[in-house]
Structure 1
Amino acid sequence: MTTSPSSPGAAPTDGPSVRIGALVPLSRPGWADAGRHLLAGLETAVHEVNGAGGIAGRPLELVVRDTAADPEKAAAAVDELFRLGVAALAGEYHSVVARAAAARADALGLPFLCSSAVLDALTEQPTDWVARLAPAQSRGWRLYADFLLDAGHSRIAVATQPSVYWASGTRILRDHLAPRGGTVVEVDMSTLAPMDVCDELVRHRATALLLLVGHPEPAVPVVRAVRHDERLAELLIGAPAGQPELPEWASLLGDDGTAIPFLRYLPEPLGPLGARVATTLRERLGEPPSFVAFEGYDTITVLADVLRSHGTDRARIAASWPHVAVEGTRGKIRFSRVPGIDVWQWAWPPLQVVDRDPAEPGRFRILRTG
């Protein structure tokens, strides 16, 4: 799959293309809406790069592979893209999938700029081949835990499914809340129906329920059950992983999907570049862009800068991570070594805790920043 042709009057591009492999969840059980926004950001930036003359006169091309939230499928795609000669990898939204892709990229010696996945342990050992734009899960989820405590919630229930990502999130919350008097009770969604979840919340006297589960199933039916249980009228529902960010959430849940705080990675307000890109992304998507779309755009912006400065040799690209200094849609992007993180990390993107306004579900209220 390639991007759109350059706009009329743009600087010409010729010669063989410079290819970037793009890993994106575009089909179920992946979160296809997130994949669509991520791809829109990637494609928009590639279009702009080519409109400005490409990479030393050569067009930039995306070679897109659908990961469908499947780690094995992602690893196989990395092997294929390596054989196709891509200069680097970009993208991926799901943390567990990105971890599989990062491991394979590291083994092959293929630079990978991960756009959206937040799992702290993106690789099992330090690597120079992988860099990441999204903040580490521990940073965002600790901010979210502080938000809960400040809002008066110390008895937290988490609806979970088996996953390294959800287990990591539960551990971060428990470790951060416990010294401050907070407790975390796990509600296993692999054995309970939504109405059973309501009974468990009442039994544990929880004041907040966090959705550490997939979207739309079982997140949507759990929200509906809780919202319509009179015993839980005062319960806060939260979704730190960001399920309410995309329009599908609002279309499925309506008013039931409002006032559910989640994390997103945007500044307030956007700067001039971010505002311009937001307009372009809205036109491409036909709806307001999520932070995931900005992550996609910034990924290509960084890779294009690296390719112009260091060429297409894979080893030189990987060696360039500590020298990156690129203006992205959400601030200046630089990579460094962060304690506990084994990849080159942008430290740090802006963080917000937001929710959908009950009075206007299409509007987001900023509840906390960090």
Structure 2
Amino acid sequence: MSTPPSPPSPSAPSSPSAVEWTDGSSVRIGALVPLTRPGWVEAGRHLLAGLELAVRDVNGTGGIGGRPVELVVRDTAADPQRAAAAVDELARLGVAALAGEYHSVVARAAATRADALGLPYLCSSAVLDALTEEPTDWVARLPPAQSHGWRLYADFLLGAGHSRIAVAAEPSVYWASGTRILRNHLAVRGGTVVELDARALDPTALCDALVDNRATALLLLVGFPEPAVSIVRSVRHDPRLAEILIGAPAGQPEFATWATTLGDDGVAVPFLRYLPERLSPLGVRVEAALRDRLAEAPSFVAFEGYDTIAVLADQLRSHGADRARIAASWPHVAVEGTRGRIQFSRTPGISVWQWARTPIQVVDRDPEEPDRFRTLHTGRGETAG
């Protein structure tokens, strides 16, 4: 592996430090975040808030051996090619490691490029199983693999009495992967999945198809706000579908804009999120700080951002900014994060180092109090048994 290039000029975008530093250059971490459309800007804002808060906390306690951490942020705008180009740029700028990204197809492009360049990448919030085509030691991930989280979601559906499932899907590797996971998991348990093309069917036609297929649950595998908002409103106001469950496993209802856009129509829509029933003491403190920073309740994505930096800072303190040593340390990580103790292992079928006990919840917004989430089902990552 080639020697990392010299640090960039001071004009490179970076996070502010909490103290004045006089003892040398910074330790740079590259951050990939969707900050403009068509990226999910709200998720990107929460992810960045978590990353930045953790950098502030690390620097407030002396940084990395007396050197401040700087977060060099690049906007991916949900574009895989843009993300890959950003990885190339950040590698040239001499970052010690990469963090971030929310969109799975974008994270896959970033992971593939990071693997090719020999640049450690801790994926904050993307779940697609195949982040790289072949097993790699350069990439690790905090959220559970899609195959595990979505199987847990399917178990929730079956437990709630739903075996005739319809999915309204748009063309996407991520949505197609989710549909396949649901279909395979439900089929051996007597369930069926009917796929409805959300681009070919307008909301009225989609409602007709739900009635024709006698579906008892509709899962939204589509973008937000559209076509998700139009579909939800049409289904909610169709008297033929008064008893149907609307679900959104990818987590669209987590964010405040879902509630403000849909109002009462947006409640009782179960989704996956990666939080424990109770936050650790660190998590409680971080939650309050994130709430102040965001001026709203932080999503699980903000906690993922914070935990990403907590892990990388621990590695940097132990191994310095040497990329190969950082990548070699994934199996030795043991960090108390906001949501539990973070350790990485190899999971069958997953090509990257994986936090194998990520907390998983199926939750929805309470119809009686839409700002409150009800926990409907819980689980943990692959090693939970």
Normalization by structure 2: what TM-score?
Answer: 0.94
What is the aligned partner in structure 1 of residue 44 from structure 2? 35
Is this contact kept in 1: 2:96–2:321, CA < 8 A? yes
Cα distance, 1:5 vs structure 2: 2.9
Letter in 2 for 1:274: G
Distance, in Å, in 1 between the alignment partners of 2:16 and 2:217 is 46
Q: What is the letter of the counterpart of residue 289 of structure 1?
A: P
- Aligned counterpart in structure 1 of residue 260 of structure 2, from 251, 254, 260: 251
Residue 157 of structure 1 aligns to a residue whose secondary structure is strand
Alignment of 1:317-336 (within 5 A): 317-336=326-345
Contact 2:236-2:242 at 8 Å conserved across structures: yes
% same residue:
78
Runs of 4+ in 1 over 4 A off after TM superposition: none
- Measure, in 2, the Cα distance between the counterparts of 1:339 and 1:87: 28
Over residues 216-269 of structure 1, what are the superposed CA-to-partner deviations in whole Å (9 max), with x where a residue is unaligned? 111111101111111110000000000000101001101100000000000011
CA contact (8 A) 1:13 1:53 kept: no
Which residue identity does 1:76 align to in structure 2?
A
Q: Could you give the per-residue CA deviations for residues 162-205 of structure 1, whole angstroms, max 9, x where no partner exists? A: 11110110011001100111000000112111111111101111
1:38-68 per-position Cα deviation (integer Å, ceiling 9, x unaligned):
0000000000000001111111000100101
The question of whether the paired residues in 2 share the 8 Å contact of 1:2 and 1:63 is answered with yes
Code of the residue aligned with 1:355 in structure 2: it is D
Q: Secondary structure at the match of 2:36?
A: coil
Kept in 1: contact 2:165–2:219 (CA 8 A): yes
1:125: which partner in 2?
A: 134
Equivalent residue in structure 2 for 1:170, among 175, 179, 188: 179
In the TM superposition, what is the alpha-carbon distance from 1:12 to its structure 2 partner? Answer: 5.4
TM-superposed CA distance for 1:206, in Å, is 0.4
Q: Deviations over 1:145-170 (max 9, x none)?
A: 01101111000000001111101100
Determine helix, strand or coil for the equivalent of 2:296: coil
- Cα deviation code 1:57-85 (max 9, x no counterpart): 11100010010111011001001111111
Partner of 1:2: 14
Report the 3-state secondary structure (helix = DSSP H, G, I; strand = E; otherwise coil) of the residue aligned with 1:215: coil
> Pairwise mapping of residues 269-348 of structure 1 onto structure 2 (< 5 A)?
269-348=278-357
State the Cα RMSD in Å.
0.9
Q: 181, 188, 206: which one pairs with 1:179?
A: 188
Other structure's SS at 1:241 match: coil
Cα distance in 1, alignment partners of residues 21 and 119 from structure 2: 29
Aligned equivalents of 1:177 and 1:367: distance in 2? 19
For the 8 Å contact 1:13–1:54, the answer to whether it is kept is no
Q: CA deviation at 1:2?
A: 2.1
Task: Name the SS for the 1:180 alignment partner.
Answer: coil
Could you tell me which amino acid in structure 1 is paired with residue 164 of structure 2?
A: R
| Gaps in structure 1 of 5+ consecutive residues | none
**TM-score after normalising by structure 1:** 0.98
Aligned residue identity for 2:26: S
Q: What is the CA deviation profile of residues 294-324 of structure 1, one whole-angstrom value per residue up to 9, with x for unaligned ones?
A: 0000000000000000010111111111110
2:358 aligns with: 349
Residue pair 1:88, 1:314 contacting (<8 A) in 2 also: yes
Paired with 1:192 and 1:174, the residues of 2 have a C-alpha distance of 21
Residue type of the alignment partner of 2:364: D
